[in-house]
């Protein structure tokens, strides 16, 4: 049976694989569009099929991991390392597939612009491909990185368990509303620079129950663009997450969000975090 830590890590990997599969949809949606040039279509079909294969294989590896006996795994550390390396290589290959696809779409767009008579170029329907694809390339590395880090963590020896908490986190006030600064300890994890953002990532710990919260704060470039997101995390997730993968953790979880972008309203919600609107 997987331990609670392993269950958490496996759930997060599963969440990442699910979000990665969603990112394939915009590509599939345009494959039959006549605006796509045949060479580009071949590349996108190949990229999409390869990414499908990668996801299926990754799911199988994760499924095997879920049923594997941990002690047996520790006894076969070398074999486990090979597994982890395979998984990391496999899952990160999706980044390259997308980079290639975006480069091809961008080149196609440029050709179209060059062919158009001077002054008459209008951004074409190709944008319907380019924009979702570029959005996807911003999100995809955070999913592949987080899934890879979680998979590697699965093969590391379990860390000391936490001191008992003072109350059950499920009943605590921190589950019903965001805490004020006098009710928490804050630890700065780092800044996420993905896509030119400056997302501040902190771990807050509730004074009442000891629950850790992963918090992402993004100020944005415009007035009323500021927003924050926070989700409860277990110690094993806290030890695995990096500033660049914090949004991927949120994307796979339920979380509080608020800030001027949301008109100051605080909501408990789920789904990919809104960092682009
Ligand atoms: Zn609490």
190 CA distance to ligand 1 centroid (A)? 23
Is the pLDDT score of 256 beyond 90?
yes
User: Contact, 226 vs 205, CB < 8 A?
Assistant: no
pLDDT at 172: 92
207 CA distance to ligand 1 centroid (A)? 7
Confidence band of 123 (pLDDT split at 50, 70, 90) = low
Q: Using CA atoms, how far apart are residues 190 and 243, in angstroms rounded to an integer?
A: 5
User: Contact, 161 vs 210, CB < 8 A?
Assistant: no
pLDDT at 155: 79
Q: Using CA atoms, how far apart are residues 254 and 268, in angstroms rounded to an integer?
A: 7
168 CA distance to ligand 1 centroid (A)? 8
Average pLDDT over the chain reads 83
192 CA distance to ligand 1 centroid (A)? 26
Mean pLDDT is highest, among 70-79, 123-132, 228-237, for 228-237
User: Contact, 130 vs 109, CB < 8 A?
Assistant: yes
Is the pLDDT score of 37 beyond 80?
no
243 CA distance to ligand 1 centroid (A)? 23
In the chain, the domains with their CATH numbers are 4-154 (1.20.120), 169-270 (no CATH)
pTM: 0.85
The closest of 147, 44, 59 to 98, measured between CA atoms, is 44
pLDDT at 158: 66
256 CA distance to ligand 1 centroid (A)? 14
2 CA distance to ligand 1 centroid (A)? 26
DSSP state, residue 120: -
pLDDT tens digits along 127-146: 666 677 777 778 889 999 99
3-state DSSP assignment of residue 151:
helix
The closest of 183, 221, 189 to 202, measured between CA atoms, is 189
209 CA distance to ligand 1 centroid (A)? 4
pLDDT at 166: 54
18 CA distance to ligand 1 centroid (A)? 29
59 CA distance to ligand 1 centroid (A)? 34
Q: Using CA atoms, how far apart are residues 172 and 188, in angstroms rounded to an integer?
A: 23
């Amino acid at each position: 049976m997987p331990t609670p830590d392993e269950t958490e890590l496996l759930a997060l990997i599963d969440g990442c694989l699910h979000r990665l599969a969603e990112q394939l949809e915009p590509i599939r949606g345009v494959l039959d569009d006549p605006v796509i040039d045949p060479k580009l279509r071949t590349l996108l079909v190949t990229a999409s099929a390869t990414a499908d294969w990668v996801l299926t294989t990754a799911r199988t590896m994760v499924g095997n991991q879920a049923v594997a006996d941990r002690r047996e795994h520790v006894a076969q550390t070398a074999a486990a390392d090979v597994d982890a390396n395979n998984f990391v290589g496999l899952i990160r290959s999706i980044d390259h597939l997308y980079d290639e696809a975006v480069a091809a779409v961008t080149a196609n767009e440029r050709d179209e612009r060059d062919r158009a008579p001077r002054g008459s170029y209008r951004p074409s329907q190709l944008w319907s491909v380019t924009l979702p694809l570029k959005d996807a390339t911003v999100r995809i590395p955070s999913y592949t990185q987080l899934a890879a880090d979680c998979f590697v963590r699965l093969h590391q020896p379990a860390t000391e368990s936490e001191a008992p908490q003072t109350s059950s986190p499920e009943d605590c006030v921190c589950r019903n509303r965001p805490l004020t600064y006098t009710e928490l300890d804050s630890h700065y994890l780092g800044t996420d620079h993905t896509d030119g953002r400056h997302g501040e990532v902190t771990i807050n710990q509730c004074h009442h129950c000891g629950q850790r919260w992963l918090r992402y704060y993004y100020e944005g470039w415009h007035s009323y663009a500021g927003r924050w997101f926070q989700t409860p995390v277990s110690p094993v997730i806290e030890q695995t997450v990096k500033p660049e993968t914090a949004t991927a953790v949120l994307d796979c979880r339920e979380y509080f969000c608020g800030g001027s972008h949301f008109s100051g309203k605080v909501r408990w919600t789920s789904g990919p975090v809104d960092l682009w609107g």
